[in-house]
A and B are shown apart, each in its own frame.
Chain A
Amino acid sequence: MNIKLKALTKSIWVFHAACSPCNNCDIEILDLLTPRHDIERLGMTLAASVRHADALLVTGIPNTKTKERLKTLYEQAPKPCVVVAIGTCACGRNMFRDSYNSPCNIDDIVPVDVYIPGCPPKPEAMIAGVAKLIEKLKSK
């Protein structure tokens, strides 16, 4: 494994891409930064701009408007960039599957690397997801 990839696993800057969520998942994501869970221990911080991001945290169901935005965001992120789908909505659209304003799944728009189900998922579940993400990056 080369040194740059190893560095990437130790310093994942995340960008919070909210695709019309109900905000519960976003609150749980912010919980990760609080004293109890503190993901800065693992070198993860919230990036201000998508150009600095290594991981996109996608929450919610893409609707016709945010679908395009999410695609643009993924194209704007510097590669290698991973996508994490957070919450049941992002994983499989849940009960909004047949809704009139829900055209597609997130993985129809961008390649998703890790799915973290839950409504909303606990911060512990997200940290477990991050551990899986690091394993996946290491095997690349």
Chain B
Amino acid sequence: MLKLIFNFLIFPGFLFASCVGLIAGWVDRKVTARIQWRVGPPWYQNFVDIIKLSGKEIIVPQGAKAIFLLSPFAGLLSAVLAAVILGRSILVPAQSFVGDLIVLLYLLVIPAASLIFGASSSRNPLASVGASREMKMVLGYELPFILVAVVAIIKCEGAVKLGNILSYQMSFTSNLILPSGWVSPSGLIAFSVAILCMQAKLGFVPFDAAEAEQEIMGGTLIEYSGLPLAVFKLTKALLLYTMPLLLIVLFWGKDLRPAFLIVKYVSLLVVVILIKNTNPRLRIDQALRFFWGPMTVLALVAVVLALFGI
């Protein structure tokens, strides 16, 4: 029991995951600044932001329901739970339970859902525009993302346990590479689709229409201030920790010694940041068409290729 609480609150749960996530968020801001030829903030900037926000006044708009204040915490709790399940399955692959991949996929939708609930209960017209965009975005990226997870399951001979997926890759070869030593086409296609889905799940630039600062002034977050806003920022940091790690577990899990894990995590992070900094924002209809069109087709192709064993 004590061990579970330790797992949830400290390692690999809330404290560890949010620290890594906030530092990853700093890497994002720093790299962005360097790309724009600026200096960028100091490394502790995101921690300071969270502390500052938690000390500010909490404003609840007139007529908002209790869900306005509850939904950020629901999002945070599920993000922490996702980080714990993923972290545990990396630390002790043998102890994971059947179907934890499915649980994880559901848990990772809840932060977006909490954003939608919170925004729609705030009674702000711009927030409701943001909520409707977020909803469409979730519908858009979930379909290819689940297909991509199916590719990983097929390639690991039907394992739906994260532990089994990992141990299969450790004993044979990672899902990106065929046993013969060639690059696996299905793994590669699925991995690239997964990176773009991750971009949308993190709400990063080509797919950030729900939080567009220039047109709808922060969209879903527009009415949030103080502690709830800090909780949303923390949830985002946790997702920034969880999502690249999930992709590594699904496709790139050949060697997960700490040094390799860190190199893989940072390289995925840099890919996300580069995509973010070199693309303009897509309109919501373009984003939806992108995910339901090319991305779903590619994911289906990957599923078929995986069934043929290449």
Contacts and interface: CB of A to CB of B under 8 A. Distances in A.
Contacts of A95: none
A76 B40 CA distance: 29
A4 B33 contact: no
Interface residues of A, number: 23
B63 interface: no
A21 to B, nearest CB: 19
Contacts of A3: 51
Contacts of A11: 45, 48-49, 52
Given A35-B36, A76-B59, A78-B58, A51 B51 contact: no
B37 interface: yes
Contacts of B36: 35
Contacts of B258: none
Contacts of A47: 218
A51 B222 contact: yes
Interface stretch (B150-158, B166-174, B223-231, B271-279): B223-231
Interface in A6-55: 7-8, 10-11, 34-35, 38, 40-41, 43, 47-49, 51-52, 54
Nearest to B49: A11
Contact of B41 (A35, A41, A51): A41
A28 B278 CA distance: 26
A48 B225 CA distance: 12
Contacts of B57: 78-80
A49 B48 contact: no
B29 interface: yes
A52 B48 contact: no
B59 A54 contact: no
A47 B39 CA distance: 19
B181 interface: no
Interface string B217-259: 1100111111001000000000000000000000000000000
Interface residues of B, number: 31
Given A4-B51, A51-B223, A52-B225, A78 B56 contact: yes
B52 A78 contact: no
B285 interface: no
Nearest to A75: B59
Contacts of B37: 35
Contacts of B218: 47-49, 52
Contacts of A34: 38
B56 A79 contact: yes
B54 interface: yes
A88 B226 CA distance: 33
A10 B38 contact: no
Contacts of A35: 36-38
B229 A52 contact: yes
Interface string B9-40: 00000000000000000000100010011111
B222 A49 contact: yes
Interface in B40-88: 40-42, 45, 48-49, 51-52, 54-59
Nearest to B229: A52
B39 to A, nearest CB: 5
B40 A40 contact: yes
B45 A4 contact: no
B29 to A, nearest CB: 7
B45 A7 contact: no
Contacts of A4: 51-52, 54-55
* Best-surrounded residue of A7, A47, A51, A54 (most CB of chain B within 10 A): A51
A40 B299 CA distance: 40
Contacts of A41: 38-42
22 contacts: A4-B52, A7-B55, A11-B45, A11-B52, A34-B38, A38-B40, A40-B29, A40-B38, A40-B39, A41-B39, A41-B41, A43-B41, A48-B218, A49-B218, A49-B221, A49-B222, A51-B229, A52-B218, A54-B56, A78-B57, A78-B58, A78-B59
